Amino acid sequence: MAVATDLIGMPPDEIILAPPQTVLKTSSGKIRRSAIRELYETGNLGRGPRAVWLQLIRLALASVGPRWRRTRGQLADAAYAGYTQIMFWLIAPAVWLFVVLCPSPSLRWSAMRGAARLLLRLTGIPLTIEGLDRLERNGAQVLVANHSSYLDSVVLVAALPLAPVFIAKGELQHKFFPRLFLRRIGAQFVERFDWRQGAEDARRSVDVLRDGRSLLFFPEGTLTRAPGLLPFHLGAFMAAGDTGAPVTPMVIRGTRSILRSGSWFPHRGRIHLAIGPPLRPTGESGWQAAITLRDATRKWMLDHLGEPDLAAERTPL
């Protein structure tokens, strides 16, 4: 009423009407009281929307920070990957040449172990080991580990105080540099597609164990980008069942996220190696002993791996 009284008697051209106040409502027509209060407290009640060009500039400026942080992260990742590859290619040829030319098997393994540890240290990849005291120091054993990345072999060489006989897929025999290197460290090649040759390879594995040397298997036989434990080949467990040698399960975590299958772009990360208790044959023989050892090994690995069980989903190549 006071406002109306003040306007009485004023010439029309002197009356200036203020802009209508903004009344925010929901889709159902209810007044949004808290939103209106916020506008009032910030002094924005009654103001019209900003010009479109100002809104576009504000939006562009707001995106500069996130874009720069993302670009900076990508540049840092690329720099780390490049540095890691440089370190690898500085170390790997020297180790290959030393292993091929060195006449002493123990010196070859010492050089490999030192080089693997040096590579992890230079690239800033921490390696933690759990259960190292569970390894059999006397007598032959069958070591089995999950296979997540090409880094797995480097990790095992760096971590294990043993010099086991690596079991490698037969296709590597057709590649000059891997074949020469693996033969010099005493690795055995296993044929995965010819069952007759595979049976002969299995007999040679048994001979290795009977000679008192340990074997190291990746029982999945291959690796994939996706997390999960693939089905196991039975070769490792047949050899253990035939000789009575214990099976020592191992789980490697972290290598897949650092270097995935099919990629040569390493990322930062941490690696953890867990070594399980030796699993011994329970008096069974032959096929049944191998099945029992396989199942017990797989259970322990799944319990400590933290990845899904893919045994029923696909068959490894």
Q: Which whole-number Å values give the CA distances from 52 to 19, 48, 55, 238, in the listed order?
A: 20, 12, 5, 74
3-state secondary structure of 197: helix
* Domain boundary assignment for the chain: 125-305
Per-residue pLDDT tens for 44-74? 656 656 677 776 777 777 777 777 788 888 8
Read off the pLDDT of each residue in 209-225 and give the average, rounded to a whole number: 91
Q: What percent of the chain has pLDDT over 90?
A: 53
Helix, strand, coil percentages, rounded to 5, for the chain: 50, 10, 40
Read off the pLDDT of each residue in 130-152 and give the average, rounded to a whole number: 92
Alpha-carbon distance of 187 to 181, in angstroms, equals: 9
pLDDT of residue 121: 97
Confidence of residue 101 (pLDDT cuts 50, 70, 90): very high
Confidence of residue 18 (pLDDT cuts 50, 70, 90): very low
pTM of the entire predicted model:
0.77
CATH number assigned to the domain covering 125-305: 3.40.1130.10
**Residue the block writes with tokens 């997390």:** 227
Rg (CA), the chain: 33
Per-residue pLDDT tens for 115-130? 999 999 999 999 999 9
Q: What percent of the chain has pLDDT over 70?
A: 78
pLDDT of residue 24: 53
Which residues lie below 8 Å from residue 219, measured CB to CB, with a gap of 6+? 144, 232, 233, 235, 236, 237, 294, 297
Residue 181's Cβ-count burial label (10 Å; 0-12, 13-18, 19+) is buried
Q: What is the DSSP letter of 161?
A: S
